[in-house]
Amino acid sequence: MLWALAFLPIFLSITWLYALHSASSAPSGLNITLLIAHPDDEAMFFAPTLLALAPHNNIHVLCLSTGDADGLGSIRQQELKESCKLLGIDDVDVIDDPELPDSMGVTWPADKIGSILDKYAGKAGVVLTFDQGGVSGHVNHRSLYHGAKEWTKKGGKRLWNLETLGLVRKYGFTMDAFVAPAQAASGMRFVSGMEGVRKAQRAMTDAHKSQMRWFRWGWIGLSRYMVVNDVKEISV
Ligand SMILES: *[C@@H]1O[C@H](CO)[C@@H](O)[C@H](O)[C@H]1NC(C)=O
């Protein structure tokens, strides 16, 4: 069995190249609001998309909590700004509102999310956020999907969702590249090269220092979301 491990780097390189080859060309000239729930969502989940879009579009990051579940909200807001800078984004707003607590047990009201979008995302033509699975399943992430969907529908905006994958693909880095090409064809696929993955990793290790506990290394090292994002436009 051990001999198989020797082929792993080769296999990974091939799948990574294949994934890079299947990447979409990035749209340009759009005003895009990335709607996230907690500081570090942008780095852990959306980095390949942000790195692909930031050079050609106006990206605004709107984070609906300070990530205060452990009392670190004020530090984490600052970390978000540093992380966004590493990812090429300067336009960041963080909301601190008692109706939107950082909590796995609280569904955030869609109308509240809508009123914040009214105030902060007026110029956005596109709202990019989680899909209804929320990637990690976090209730706050899922609330964003429902809030953004209602708001974009009402305002005639476009809605883009980051696709939630099952556990094996989630932790499989680029290894699903061969089984998922059709999916890329029906949406947008953004893929980072070596440099992009390093940037995303640095956004975690250098910017989101307060979040760097041992178990994050598994995500940083193995997650497909650090290297590939599948994004779908939803008709609302
Ligand atoms: C982007 O927003 C600016 C206002 O800040 C606006 O002038 C411009 O038309 C918008 N672009 C698109 C493509 O919506």
Ligand 1 pocket, residue 27 CB under 6 Å: no
CA of 116: how far to CAs of 73, 100, 122, 160, in Å? 19, 11, 10, 18
Which ranges of the chain would DSSP assign to H, the alpha helix? 2-6, 8-21, 41-44, 47-53, 73-86, 110-120, 134-137, 139-155, 167-170, 181-185, 194-202, 216-222
pLDDT for res 145:
98
Confidence of residue 219 (pLDDT cuts 50, 70, 90): very high
Confidence of residue 185 (pLDDT cuts 50, 70, 90): low
Average pLDDT rounded to a whole number, residues 50-67: 98
Task: Give the CATH H-level superfamily of domain 29-234.
Answer: LmbE-like (3.40.50.10320)
Q: Where are the domains of the chain?
A: 29-234
In contact, 117 and 64? CB cutoff 8 Å? no
Ligand 1 pocket, residue 156 CB under 6 Å: no
- Tokens describing residue 55: 């050079």
Q: Which of 28, 33, 123 to mutate to test the pocket of ligand 1 (most atoms within 8 A of CB)?
A: 123
In the sheet with 228-234, reading across from the earlier edge strand, the strands are 91-94, 58-63, 31-36, 126-130, 158-162, 228-234, 188-191
Q: How far is the centre of ligand 1, averaged over its atoms, from the C-alpha of 31 (Å)?
A: 6
pLDDT tens digit sequence for 8-45: 888 889 999 999 988 989 999 999 999 999 999 999 99
Ligand 1 pocket, residue 125 CB under 6 Å: yes
Look at ligand 1, atom 5, and give the residue with the nearest C-alpha.
123
Whole-structure pTM value: 0.94
